[in-house]
Structure 1
Amino acid sequence: MMMLLVALFLGNIPSFAFSAPSQPNINCLIINLDYINCTWTEHEHNYTFRSRFTHRETLDCPEYLRIDGVNVGCVFPYKTAQRFNTLETRLYSDDGGLVTEQEHNLKSYVKLSPPINLSVVEKKDTELWLYWDFTKNNGCFESEVRYRTDNNVWKNTTPGPRTSFSLPFPSKKRYEFQVRARIQSSCGESKFWSDWSEPVYWGS
């Protein structure tokens, strides 16, 4: 009779009560072709992080990101062309057990720093020229410019591999310009644009 009651009790428990806990998901992003930032979605346990690129040695995390003393991410250096290789990441529990192992194709997961040194030059009252620099020299970057007058709606330009932009016949208004950058398609386009640059102004 007791066995029957136990069987009936277990039979009335929803199936999700016995489901295994979900594994943390690891997300990785290359920042400005300088370093890789990997974070994971579960922050209740203090995981140990290890990673390796295909056919390379496994490396311990050199610098953890922490919230309230708990490891929530890892930052490690990026080397040229690594984004075209598969990154393997692993999380381990406190007792050394493997929690999850994941693979990442980082070719399109690059976020550049915003362009810098924006300047505006007026040429012969007929054109405004906007100039900017990237934070590093690289022939694979493309830019998008946006501008507006007197805090009106932004106008965006077509992205292209350039570090200047001209605006013909400017009106006597106050112009505001910003630029952002990303890896262009010929070099393996990134899904991510940089943040917009600091604005630069022209006019009254």
Structure 2
Amino acid sequence: MEDDALAAQAAAADGAPAAPDEPTTDGLTLDAIQAELKRVRREAASYRTRLRDVESAQAETEKGKLSDLERLQAELNETKQALAETQRLAQERLVRNAVVAAAARAGFNDPDDAMRLIDQGTLEVREDGSVDGVEKAIQAIAKSKPYLVRGKQQPTVAPTNPEGQAQRPTDDQMRRELFGQRTGGFWSGGGVVTPTEK
């Protein structure tokens, strides 16, 4: 028995957990300690829940203690903040729509690029919802970064189009180039030869 207690103490000193059936230095088993820990955790959780309930009830009580005037003032302030936020979002949308529309009219490849590059401090939203300064700002961006704006489409030079010809020749042009200017018979009738009477 004395040897078992010494073995348990040695195992605890080495950092190895004691076996579930073996008593620890306090005379409790590992299972008993774990059960007690679970009980204490459940109790702490119930105290936390009660604390939240008491705090919310206390807040409601304090709110009820406020006079009607103070309560209405608080609601008014909340409503004003919500209105200001809504107006700010509406103005942002107006500015964005005006910039994107003006950039599209100016021929930007991607009108969202104009929104990213525009200095919004130069724009002003009027009471009627129009935005001042958009056209001037878009023109400034187009002038400073012309690669953002669609220009005359340059023909692409490719192995099959080494000269960069803009248009493909029509069928008549190809026929004239291959066979020369020929008239009569086969060439004028679209491939059907009809005998003519004499």
Shorter-chain TM-score: which interval? under 0.3
TM-score, structure 1 as length reference: 0.24
Q: Which has the larger radius of gyration?
A: 2
Q: Which one scores higher on RCO, CA 8 angstroms, separation ≥ 6?
A: 1
Q: Which has the higher helix share?
A: 2
TM-score, normalised relative to structure 2: 0.25
Higher strand proportion, which one?
Answer: 1
